[in-house]
């Protein structure tokens, strides 16, 4: 039943094609001037069928190409969220670190955590439907959380620009929670899109490794997904 709901137009077109095929065969069987009409209808049906078959063959390939491009960007954004939350933002939810958070988080440093806007996701948003399953919804939920994280960074930085003592302590805690809220949607987006992407593990590994290279003092262990599950568990 769900198949028919998702493909109502195609089902209706198939019914019309069957009716037209019966009509064309009936016309050709008359063996008079209407035979030409039957051949014209049959030729049109063949052209439509060829076009639909071509689209049906191309659709899975297009979905895989789109998924891979999205996955490269998604893995990078999720890895950045995981990396930043591991240090320093997870520490700011610990009351014992409140003083250090308040002293070290200025507006200049805060803006460094602002994620860049997703380019591939934004430019291909109209094509997400070809991914099917839960991937489109999972992507939307993650990027919604990511946008909220970016928006709050910009708002807090603007409000605290003139504060010589740094970013307000309460704002630091709120921002830490906001970043934490990107992790689970990010993990679910990776899981939803991964079946469409070959060697997705390598993409994830490369994404988090790129950030780990910038932090020489402490090296977290585990894959990107394992590290996220440790943080949210």
pTM for the whole thing?
0.77
Taking the C-alpha atoms of residue 51 and residue 134, their distance in angstroms, rounded to an integer, is 28
pLDDT per residue as tens digits for the range 134-187: 899 999 999 999 999 999 999 999 988 877 767 888 888 899 999 999 999 999
By CB neighbour count within 10 A (0-12 exposed, 13-18 middle, 19+ buried), where does 5 fall?
Answer: exposed
Domain ranges for the chain: 2-54, 62-232
pLDDT per residue as tens digits for the range 42-91: 566 666 666 655 565 666 678 888 999 999 999 999 999 999 999 899 98
Token reading at 40: 């014209």
Compute the C-alpha angle 12/47/14, nearest 5°.
15
């Amino acid at each position: 039943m769900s198949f028919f709901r998702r493909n109502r137009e195609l089902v209706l077109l198939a019914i019309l094609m069957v009716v037209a095929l019966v009509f064309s065969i009936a016309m050709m069987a008359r063996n008079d001037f209407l035979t030409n009409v039957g051949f014209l209808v049959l030729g049109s049906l063949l052209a439509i069928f060829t076009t639909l078959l071509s689209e049906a063959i191309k659709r899975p390939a297009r979905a895989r190409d789109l998924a891979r491009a999205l996955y490269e960007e998604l893995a990078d954004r999720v890895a950045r969220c995981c990396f930043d939350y591991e240090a320093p933002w997870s520490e700011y939810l610990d009351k014992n670190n409140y003083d250090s958070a308040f002293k070290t988080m200025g507006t200049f440093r805060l803006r460094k955590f602002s994620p860049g806007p997703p380019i591939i996701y934004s430019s291909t948003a109209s094509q997400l439907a070809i991914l099917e399953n839960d991937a489109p919804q999972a992507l939307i939920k993650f990027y919604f959380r990511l946008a909220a994280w970016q928006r709050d960074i910009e708002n807090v930085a603007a409000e605290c620009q003139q504060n010589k003592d740094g970013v307000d302590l309460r704002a630091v805690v709120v921002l830490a929670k906001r970043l934490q809220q990107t992790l689970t949607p990010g993990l679910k987006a990776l899981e939803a899109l991964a079946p469409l992407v070959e060697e997705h593990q390598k993409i994830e590994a490369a994404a988090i490794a790129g950030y780990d290279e910038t932090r020489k003092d402490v090296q977290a262990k585990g894959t990107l997904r394992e590290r996220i599950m440790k943080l949210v568990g």
